[in-house]
Amino acid sequence: MEFNILIISDTICPWCFIGYRRLRLAISQHLATHPNDTFSVSWHPFQLNPNAPKGQTSDKRAVYERNYGAEQTELIFERLRTAAKGTGINFSFEGQTGSTLDSHRLLEYAAAKDTAGAGRRKGSLSGMQTRLAEELFGDYFERERDITSHDVLVNAAKRAGLDGVEARKFLESDALAKEVAEKARMPRENGINGVPHFSINDTFTVEGAQEPAAFLMLFRRLRKRQMKM
């Protein structure tokens, strides 16, 4: 059976990183008992702060403290670290934050570059878009890198398998800027105000960073549906 999963996500959303890793754990567990099933993942942009000015950054911790206060910020960070246990994520909450538009543009670019063959078909779990999403999450949440920086984005693109020179040319243009901004607005227009949001085979949705068991239950339900057809 083939599972197609759409993830609505922002590249600076910690729960999106946790939710994605929990999804991967669920997929691994499912494939252990159903090795012939296949999974594809695609990413849809969402901006937690769509009004963040491009070209400007702020201290990540300072933004949290401004929004929630110092004491509540530490509680949020501790909750995230606890939730990340078992996912392999090593959160660091230092560094800079800013507009995520360019990172989403690059993810759209990577999706367009994914090609058939060598495990890199569009939507493949080993495709460049998903590999890039992993790199961006790691840069922002673990390596304290500024993902508004074109240098940081280009290096992430290269690690994901994209051509660095072409990726830089793309980023320095305005290509896909309007399209990505519009796509990022669509979830809110459709009543989705929080991320992550997962859609599985256009049949079931998962809101938030649910445990692997939540995904596994839906995989089983979809398999049963197919067997009855």
| pLDDT tens sequence across 49-58 | 999 999 999 9
**Strands, DSSP E only, in the chain?**
2-9, 38-45, 57-59, 96-98, 197-200, 204-207
Would you say the pTM of this structure is higher than 0.85? yes
| pLDDT tens sequence across 120-161 | 445 567 789 999 999 999 999 999 999 999 999 999 999 999
pLDDT of 165 above 90? yes
Confidence (pLDDT) at 122: 52
DSSP 8-state secondary structure symbol assigned to residue 124: B
Give all domains of the chain, ordered by start, each with its CATH number. Answer: 2-228 (3.40.30.10)
Cα 166 to Cα 50, 104, 115, 205: the distances in Å are: 26, 16, 16, 35
Instruction: List the structure tokens of 219.
Output: 């995989």
- How distant is the alpha carbon of residue 88 from its chain centre? 16
| pLDDT tens sequence across 5-18 | 999 999 999 999 99
How, if at all, do strands 2-9 and 38-45 pair? parallel
